[in-house]
Amino acid sequence: MSRDAPDAIVIGSGPNGLAAAITLAEAGRSVVVYEAARTVGGGMRSAQLTQPGFIHDVCSTIQGISVASPFFRSLELASLGVELVHPEAPIAHPLDDGRVALLDRSVVTTAAGLGSDDRRYRRLIAPLVHDADKLMPFVFGPFDPFPRHPLAAARFGFPAMRSAKGIGKGFSGDLAPALLTGLSAHAMVPLHLPTTAAFGLVLAITAHAYGWPVVRGGTQVLADALATRLRALGGEIVTGHPVTALGELPAARAILFDTSPRGFVGITGDRLPDRYRRRLESFRYGPGIFKVDWALEGPIPWRAEGVGRAGTVHLGGTTGEILASERDIAAGRHPERPFVLLVQASRFDRSRVPNGGETGWAYCHVPNGSDVDMTDRIEAQVERFAPGFRDRILATAVRGPATLEADNANYVGGDINGGIQDWRQLFTRPVARLDPYTTPIRGLYLCSSSTPPGGGVHGMCGVWAARSALEREFGHRARRA
């Protein structure tokens, strides 16, 4: 390879890889990003997966985490061509009897729809939403025992330490617990475990405080915007270039890996000290997902009023049902009625579909590496709350764990979070180290979602890793978020 040696190289162009590259370039460093796929973006890609004219988000579609992230909030996304489209309501969670928990941007309006739990929901959620801007640096940081806003962190920390199951027991009705359990289930961790309430609370805070938008035209627009920003800073991106060994790369003072620990071990080979390699090899990956995208001839015919107003719909019924579904997954079983996360982006962004058409995006959790086709079970869950749904399907595209991993090596066994996010591994990912982005080899850093703060499109793993590299390799002073 004849390329001049840049200051830094980033392997992988997911949100964390691009955030790392932008952070380095903003500090005046020359950066080259190598991306295995032909297009930039990792989990921010879009494609016409079903029929011409129907734009589907291949991975992430809801940008509730990115709009809350200090990294994305620091960018002028609108000037980079990104238009965020906010559904009328962020989330709906229908039950079989026709009632719906509708998470509106307003806590008061949401609570008013939760029957006897109106006051309890407000008392739990309103103070956290009020503190949202203070909490986000804490949520998106590596673990900080001395948070900048200790009172806000404590107010969040007490309920967050509980299990999702436990926090649900504090309500008298079934709508509020179902809503919060459904949000916690995004974590893909058994919901009776301590700290699983934290995921539901964080997602509820982001949905109320910042909204859960989609990107007009598809999430790829967001990836392209980050690429534009990087190139404007002098950075370079090489796509269609899987990196398989360190020796392939030009010399650079810092190399940041937006890869899984497994990918990192594969590329660094025998240069890693045995002990560190063994720790990376025992890194635990979480459940996988099975995803379905539909081209539809019209809107999903929801039985309950209000569901059509939401961008995201949680299909899993009551708290008990969701707990059972997630327990099955953790035990290696495939539930008959899986918890399904569905997004109806084209309801709010008509640029994704031809006249009158609609897209549907949905997935359920499956055991890691599963090869079971869950299409029927996912469609049955939609049909359960929207009779006649199947009649509207024009075309279907499915992606199980093997396809996901073949498309993006980071999704080991279909795990989209870069490793299980239970309390043992959330802050100590990939291994317990004072600075988890560093490795025992000088100049090599991990920056993917397998480092804190974990999965989702927020870019903060990349920002923290880049800051660590800037400090250690280039003598820049460290800054807090």
Ligand X SMILES: Cc1cc2nc3c(=O)[nH]c(=O)nc-3n(C[C@H](O)[C@H](O)[C@H](O)COP(=O)(O)OP(=O)(O)OC[C@H]3O[C@@H](n4cnc5c(N)ncnc54)[C@H](O)[C@@H]3O)c2cc1C
- Shortest distance, position 10 Cβ to ligand X, whole Å: 9
| Residue 174 or 358 with smaller CB distance to ligand X | 358
Cα gap 91→69, rounded to integer Å: 19
| Residue 262 or 334 with smaller CB distance to ligand X | 262
| Residue 16 or 110 with smaller CB distance to ligand X | 16
- Which chain residues interact with ligand X by CB under 6 A? 11-17, 34-37, 42-43, 59-62, 65, 242-243, 258-259, 263, 267, 289, 291, 363, 404, 408-411, 416-418, 448-449, 455-457, 461
Cα gap 388→118, rounded to integer Å: 33
- Shortest distance, position 390 Cβ to ligand X, whole Å: 22
| Residue 23 or 61 with smaller CB distance to ligand X | 61
- Shortest distance, position 277 Cβ to ligand X, whole Å: 17
| Residue 160 or 289 with smaller CB distance to ligand X | 289
| Residue 406 or 432 with smaller CB distance to ligand X | 406
Torsions phi, psi of 334, nearest 5? -105, 110
Amino acid at 370: S
| Residue 156 or 411 with smaller CB distance to ligand X | 411
- Shortest distance, position 186 Cβ to ligand X, whole Å: 9
- Shortest distance, position 138 Cβ to ligand X, whole Å: 18
Taking a C-beta distance cutoff of 8 angstroms, is the pair 31, 280 a contact?
Answer: no
- Shortest distance, position 172 Cβ to ligand X, whole Å: 32
Cα gap 369→142, rounded to integer Å: 29
- Shortest distance, position 304 Cβ to ligand X, whole Å: 23
